Structures are given as C-alpha cells and as structure tokens.
Structure 1
Amino acid sequence: MPNPSHIIFLASLLYLSSATAAPYTIGVNYGTVADNLPPPPRVASFLKSQTTIDRVKIFDANPDLLRAFADTGIAVTVTVGNGDIPSLSKLPAAQSWISTNILPFHPRTTINRIAVGNEILATSDKSLIAHLLPTMEALHSALSLANITTIQISTPHSLGILSSSEPPSSGRFRRGYDRAIFAPILDFHRKTKSPFMVNPYPFFGFAPETLDYALFRPNGGVLDHATGINYTNMFDAQMDAVFSAMKRVGYDDVEIVVAETGWPSAGDPNQPGASLDNAVSYNGNLIKHVSSGKGTPLMPNRTFEIYIFSLFNENLKPSVSERNYGLFKPDLTPVYDVGVLKNPQALGPTSSTTAEGPSSDSRREWCVARSNVSEEALQKNIDYVCSSGIDCGPISNGGACYDPNDVRSHASYAMNAYYQASDRHDFNCDFNNTGMLTTMDPSYKACTYPSSSIAGQKVGDKPETETGGSIKHEPSLFNTFLILASSCILIFKHFHIIHSII
C-alpha cells in the first residue's frame, strides 16, 4: 500500500507540472529606417533584460548591431542586400563576404541565419532571380569551408510567389517558377536542413467583411470545399496555401519560418483597418496561436518560428502605416504590449485588454464553443446557462454582444460566462464535449468576454422562474468524484517512479 505522504507529494508534483505553462519565444524584425532610434547596445540590453524576445532579424549586416548583441544569447539573422546578390554568386566573393560580415562576430554574437535578399521574386528582376540560388549555395559553401555549421542560409518570399492561394488546398507556385525556381531552392533547403522563409501579411489580404477572420477574432470561417476544413483565421489559410504549393512540387517536409508578419497601429485615411486595437488583436492573437503548438489544419502540432514586423516605429518610412508597425517607440516604451514584456508595470501604462484586442496576460483562459458542434446543441447550452442565474443580457437584443446575431457567437459568450462564474474548473467548459478552452481573448468591439469570476454571481443562483435546461452540467459530487478518480489513476500509474526517487 503506498504511503499517503508519497501520494500527497506526487499529487503536488502533478498539479505544479500541469499548472506551469512553457514560455513562448518570439522574434522581431529590427529595422533602422529612422533617425531617432536608441543606440544598438541599449536596444540589445533592453531586449535581453525587459522582454521575452530571443531572436532578431536585421536587414543588413551592420557591424554596430552585430557587436551590440555579443554575449546576449539573442539569435541574429543577418541579411545580404538585394543588390549584392549577383556579385556573391561565386565562391571567392562569398568567402570574402563571410570573412568580413560573419567571422569577426560569430560565435560571440549568435548569428543563426543569413537571409539572402528580401522578396527577390517580387522584384521581377531576372538577374537577381537567376543569381539567387547560386548565391545561397556559394554562401553555404563558404560557411562550410570556415568550419561553421550552425548558420543557415535562406531567403524570404512574399506570398506573391503563389498563383493560387484560395482555398488553401489549391496553393501552387507561379507557373514557370514552380519547377524552374522553387523546386531547386526547396531541394537546397532539404539538403542543408534550412527553412523556407515566407512573409504572410493578412493586413494586405482582408476585406471589410473579413476583418475578424484576419484578426483571429470570432467569425464564421472560410470553408475549403476540397478538404472540408473550415478556416477560422487568415494566417492559417495563408500558411497552408504555401504548404500546399510546397507539397505540389514534392517538398512538404521542409520547415517553414515566418520571416515577417505584422499589423500597423495607424494608417492613412484609406486604410481603416490600420489601428491600435487591430494591431493589438492581430499580433497578440498571432503570438498565442503560434506558440500554442497547434499548428495549422494542414500542419498540425507545429510551433512556427516567427518574426514580428517590427521592433520600432520607423519615422523615415514613406507612408503612415509603414511608420507604425512597431511594438516599441524609439524611447523604448511600448506602443502596446502583446505579452513580450517581462515586467510591463515597470515600464508605465500599456495597452492590455482593449475593445477589440486580447489581454497581455497569457495565463487567462476563455471557454468557447467548438467549431464542429451543431446549432441545436449550442442552443441547449444557451438555454441552460441563461436559466442558471448567469446574466445573459449582453447577448439579448440591444446587448453589447448581440451582434453577430447567431447561435454560435451567443453560445460562446454564455458558455464562457458560466465557466468564469464557476471558478474556472476545466469540467465547467465541457458542456457535453461542445466547449473548449482557449488563451485567445474572444472579445471584440464593445463585446468583452469576462476573464475572471463574475462578482456576486455563482452557478445555482437561479431566477425565481426557471425555464429549464436540457444539459445537466452543474458541478456535482459525481463531477468531483470523477476528477479525484482520474487523479488517483495518474498517481498510482506513476507511483513506482516517485517511490524510487524518494
């Protein structure tokens, strides 16, 4: 018979391991098209001490920036300028470039990747396109000859490389480029174990009616009839379109890295989607989505390496929106916080939960309806919750969450309200397997989903007239017994391991 103290010890370990979420990491593009940015050493120190950002991508091989990141442990992707590509396609020139731009800094500065140009196919420059792969090969050979095996070679692509992207399963590279250009590049990536880099920007692909779809907010989704997959965000759709194109030429095993993606916090008058709230929503939800490890429908269980564009607002960019992609102002105060700050309170007030954006507290969870559940089942959830004492006024006609007026949206609000009022036990979001927990804030516009217990309102405080509910879902002794039983099974299953340790 196991010692009771051992069981308590094991139960504590199980609780701590389940309650501790693995931290996510994120990269940023560190652009310098500005005349008011802080010195690179200060930037490097700030990123290391004040943020969770552990990688940066720069758009050149600036020695001042490379020296600044020495001994920080922050990985740096350097870039070969587009105009330098033809001259570096021969090995001697590539060796000289490596000797000048890499060897003086590596490994004290952790250079993890060399990006050869940026969006070369989009330039339509035949010379650059023809010399792209030879330059990648020459730089790889130069690194090998210098006995450096930890630096990858790649090149970022815009989504203009696709001739078809909707639906995602139809994704294919541009005709004439698929076999002549992309198959050889992807073969290089496969052989060198380097990633295919892409720059997906839902900001450039949304229409007014698909804004929620682009921002990871609740929406009806877009169905890919060929696969039966209902996409609920544009980022997944764009990534799966790239994956489909790679698969079509036989290279779906090559890793994909998101070299750039972002959303401007301000824009020109003809860019109504460019706003602070939308930037918070897109970048915050993107980080949570990517770091969840769920991947995309066609690439499940993947955690993509991503680089948000950009680190700073850059005041010399040509348009308002281009000048307002930054997470930070030049004085290092946040434009808004999407969860990358280690101690946001120490840096003054920041945007956290907004009318349209997510909270920066990644530990909070919301209960929402599963996407594959019938409206009939969800209506039962609404009926039950609204008869259990929960305030359903926000989803009543005229309420802040009434629009969109559909069963799925109303059910998510009601189910979350019930979950929050029931002390946020996981089983209170089950609803006969029709609910699921998410760390992405489903709030939108004036509709705010509660994220903590509703004051003064507990399940069981029913109104005088009970309309009834078809789901028997109140916390009960039986629920508690099931949870304890499950815990005991885990305890006894692993007891021999803990016993040997003790």
Structure 2
Amino acid sequence: MATVTKLSGFLHLLLFLPFHLLIDSASAAYPIGVNYGTVANNLPPPQQVAKFLKTQTSINSVKIFDANPDILRAFANTNISVTVTVGNGDIPALAKLPAAQSWIANNILPHQPQTIIRYIVLGNEIMATSDKALIAHLLPAMKTLKYALDQAKLTHIQVSTPNSLGILSTSEPPSNGRFRKGYDKAVFAKILDFHRQTKSPFMVNPYPYFGFVPQTLNYALFKSNGGVFDAATGMNYTNMFDAQLDAVYSAMKKLGYEDVDIVVGETGWPSAGDPNQPDSNLLNAQSYNGKLVQHVSSGKGTPLMPNRTFETYIFALFNENLKPSISEQNFGLFKPDFSPVYSVDVLNLKPASGPTTTPGSSPPALAPDRPAPGPVRPAPGPARPAPGPGSVTGRWCVPKAGTSNAALQANIDYVCGTGLDCKPIQQGGSCFDPNDVRSHAAYAMDAFYQANGHHDYNCDFNKTGLIVHSDPSTFST
C-alpha cells in the first residue's frame, strides 16, 4: 500500500480523510481506487498524475482502459497498483496461447516488477455488446491469459472482466436477482467457476446514477429515506448501491458461487449534465462519491454480505473533455490541473474504525457503458427517465438514429437469443410490418427494456439504444 506523505491543508481535507479509512482496513488492501481515463486533450502527463496520486492523495490503486506503456512506466516504484484492460477487439486472438504469451511479453513483462499490476481485465461489459464472437471467446481468453501469466511466473496478477448490471434479468428486490436466461449456466456459471478456481474476483459496474428516478434520488445518493423492503429476506435497503450489489450476489448464489469475491470496477456520479439532467450536479456528485467512500470503507458490507469491504474503483479521476455529452465529461473527481471538482469538503469524511454512514442514505446510480477498446468508457447514456419509480408509462427503448443495420440486427439476435418472444416480428406476426431491420429492432429492444426492469442500462445496446417518451409502435423509418 502507498505511503502517504504530508499533504497540503487543502488537499488533506479533501482527500486524506476519506481514503485514509480504506488504507487502514484490515479486510482489503485496496478498498478505494479510481478509474484513470484519458478521453481528453488537456490532461497532464502520466508522470505528473502518478506523482500527484502518490504524494498528495491516499489513492493506492488505479484502473486504466488499455495497457498504455507511458502510464505503466509512470506508476513504476510508486506502490500504486494498476489494473490493465485488454481491448474488446483483442479478445478473440487471446484465446490462443501464443497470442496470450505475446500480449504479456509486449504489455506486461517490460514493466515487471517495478509497476504493480493487480488485475488484467478483458474488455468492457462484453455482454452488453451483443457480439456473439466476443461472448464466445471471453472465457477461453481469460483462461488462456491466466495460464500464460502463470507460465511467466506472474501468478500474482489476476484476470477478470467488467460487467454492467445489464447481466441481470431481475434485480428487484435484491433477493430475486438472477442472471439473464440463457446466459446464467452457459456463460456466468463457467466464468464464476473460473474465478473460484483462480481466486479472482467477479467485477461489476453498479451505477445507481443510471437507475434512479426523482422519487428514489435520496435512495441513490445515500441520503435519508424510508428504504426499500425485501419481503423475502425481511431486510430494508437504505441505499441503491447495496441493493445492486446484493442483486448480483443473489444471482451468483442461485448458481452456487456466492463464495466468489466481488469487486466494483466502476461507479460514480457526474457533477454536471445536460439541461434535461438537473440531478447531475456538484452537490449530488459530492454526496454520492463522498458517502460511497465512507460506506465502503466502513467494512459494514451489505444486508446479504455483512462485514465485507468491497474493493471499489470510482469513475473517474479526471473530467474528460472529449466525451460526447456534458454528463459524460463531468464524472471526474479532479480537473486536469489537479484542482478538485467539488468544494473543499466534498470528500471530507471523518476517519472511523467502524460504520459511520448515515443509516438512511441513498445513492443515485447508473451503469455507464464505455467503448470497447477505447482508453476510457463514456459515462452514462441517455438522460435519465422522467416518470416515477416503476413507471413504464411514457418510456420506451428505440434505436438511435444513424445506427447501422448490422448493429440493429445484432440487437435483434441478442434479444431473441435471451428467450424473449420474438414471434410478433417474424413473418405473419403482428409487428412484422413494416418489414425492415430498424422497425424490428425497435420492437425487440423495447421488449427487452420493458421485460428487464426499465433500467437505463437495459436500453444501452452498446450505445445504440435511446429512451424516448413516444410510443415506438408509431416508430417510423
């Protein structure tokens, strides 16, 4: 773990207190980290970033979205661990041992042992891509890469893959969480078995920001609220972050893998947004990220996983000005000049040896999907829904304008492959006409969205979906 040097009074208040809690945690050496994205043209050099994190913060782990050698060199001899990402496009090749050995030789070995590489994660939210080839090659590539690491005597490096909460077909109440039909035993049971055998964690990206509606804002932000009661377990949830993690745990338990560790690969809240995103603001970002750190570092765990400290990577280190929307550009804790985005007390949480979170807190969450091989994921997708919790009225999922027919056909194939009824868009079906890919995709994508809890991430479809407030039955090509 990193040694924290004397901080300036300003940054000491801002950063040291909250992250200090995590450094002292006996249950995890790396409880809080950050996602270091680089989709910007104004960021400082990696060497300055590494020096800043080492000397002026207590952050001791970062996650990057590629294997950038400049970044890996910058973190040499800092005692800050790095999680490296394999691009989506590289996954199929890495299923073969020579390619996996070559990738490690080119991207990992040159930085050993000076740079502490904690994880290699394959791709980004592969299940959300609907790419059958990527999905089919994912586990073989994970196994081959791990074997190649072991052969290279890098047994300490673990292998995982980040998953959005779109992997769940049901998440409410948390005890009812289950993986998507058709993917549960065929895909996730095998991935979880790999994690059990290699003692590596299952990585998920819970974003209450993408799941809240006005009535559940406090619940998403860890603020005081009445909570959500799970009748099956008799437990009351006072924040959405815990509920999302427990839904994943329940899905794992149904397959018999509740003993596999969970790592939070991404979570966060934007400090600014588009005009139709009033809850993307500084106060909410401060509340979510500040209370998240306090909650995770307390070791309190969740209702179904008590007394556990979850290794958690906040998205993101910097604001990134080349992201496509205002909210996506404003997930950072810091501006490119290293000044904090929030007011001085945004992360000013008092250190504590036990739970210090307010019993009734609520986190906003959304699960942003980032581009496959790119250096950093784009944060959230379309603006969050307007209607109240659980309301379906006035919300539909349709294809974004300009999406290619090939991508739309992939969405259709994916949805119909999950077991949803696609007979209406087959010849003779009630929604077959107009007989074109775009109209059929509009039906399939909305059917999936409506059937899976109306979460924004269930209308992502690798950034080709859009939530609208007009009935897609009137969708025109």
- Normalised to the residue count of structure 1, the TM-score between the two structures is 0.65
Which residue matches 1:240? 246
Distance 1:159 1:366, change over 3 A: closer
Residues 243-392 of structure 1: matches in 2 within 5 Å?
243-336=249-342, 350-352=343-345, 359-362=348-351
- Equivalent position amino acid for 1:128 in 2: L
Q: Give the alignment's Cα RMSD to 1 decimal.
A: 2.0
- Equivalent position amino acid for 1:261 in 2: T
Distance 1:42 1:370, change over 3 A: closer
Which residue matches 2:197? 191
- Equivalent position amino acid for 1:50 in 2: Q
Which residue matches 2:472? none
For the residues of structure 1 that align with 2:178 and 2:51, how far apart are their CA atoms?
43
Cα deviation digits, residues 138-190 of structure 1 (max 9, x gap): 10011111111110000000000000000000000000000000000000000
State the shift of 1:270 in Å.
1.4
Residues 39-438 of structure 1: matches in 2 within 5 Å?
39-336=45-342, 350-352=343-345, 359-362=348-351
Which residue matches 1:37? 43
- Equivalent position amino acid for 2:345 in 1: S
State the shift of 1:367 in Å.
9.5
Cα deviation digits, residues 172-226 of structure 1 (max 9, x gap): 0000000000000000000000000000000000010100000000000000111
Q: Is the 8 A contact 2:299 2:355 kept in 1?
A: no
Which residue matches 1:437? none
Distance 1:42 1:244, change over 3 A: same
Q: Is the 8 A contact 2:75 2:115 kept in 1?
A: yes
For the residues of structure 1 that align with 2:227 and 2:290, how far apart are their CA atoms?
19
For the residues of structure 1 that align with 2:354 and 2:116, how far apart are their CA atoms?
35
Aligned length: 335
Q: Is the 8 A contact 2:300 2:355 kept in 1?
A: no
For the residues of structure 1 that align with 2:166 and 2:32, how far apart are their CA atoms?
25
Which residue matches 2:392? none
Which structure carries more relative contact order (alpha carbon 8 Å, separation 6+)? 2
Distance 1:275 1:36, change over 3 A: same
Cα deviation digits, residues 440-483 of structure 1 (max 9, x gap): xxxxxxxxxxxxxxxxxxxxxxxxxxxxxxxxxxxxxxxxxxxx
- Unpaired segments of 5 or more residues in structure 1? 1-19, 337-349, 372-502
Q: Is the 8 A contact 2:204 2:263 kept in 1?
A: yes
Distance 1:367 1:96, change over 3 A: closer
State the shift of 1:362 in Å.
3.8
Secondary structure in 2 aligned to 1:53? Answer: coil
- Normalised to the residue count of structure 2, the TM-score between the two structures is 0.68
For the residues of structure 2 that align with 1:84 and 1:240, how far apart are their CA atoms?
32
Secondary structure in 1 aligned to 2:181? Answer: coil
Q: Is the 8 A contact 1:26 1:52 kept in 2?
A: no
For the residues of structure 1 that align with 2:217 and 2:357, how far apart are their CA atoms?
20
Q: Which structure would you say has the larger Rg?
A: 1
For the residues of structure 2 that align with 1:165 and 1:273, how far apart are their CA atoms?
23
- Unpaired segments of 5 or more residues in structure 2? 1-19, 26-30, 361-477
State the shift of 1:351 in Å.
3.1
For the residues of structure 2 that align with 1:128 and 1:368, how far apart are their CA atoms?
40
How many percent identity over aligned positions? 70
For the residues of structure 1 that align with 2:147 and 2:117, how far apart are their CA atoms?
17
State the shift of 1:369 in Å.
9.2
Distance 1:317 1:368, change over 3 A: closer
For the residues of structure 2 that align with 1:230 and 1:202, how far apart are their CA atoms?
17
Q: Is the 8 A contact 1:198 1:259 kept in 2?
A: yes
For the residues of structure 2 that align with 1:126 and 1:366, how far apart are their CA atoms?
43
For the residues of structure 1 that align with 2:53 and 2:351, how far apart are their CA atoms?
19
Secondary structure in 1 aligned to 2:319? Answer: coil
State the shift of 1:26 in Å.
1.6
Secondary structure in 2 aligned to 1:183? Answer: helix
- Equivalent position amino acid for 1:98 in 2: I
For the residues of structure 2 that align with 1:369 and 1:211, how far apart are their CA atoms?
16
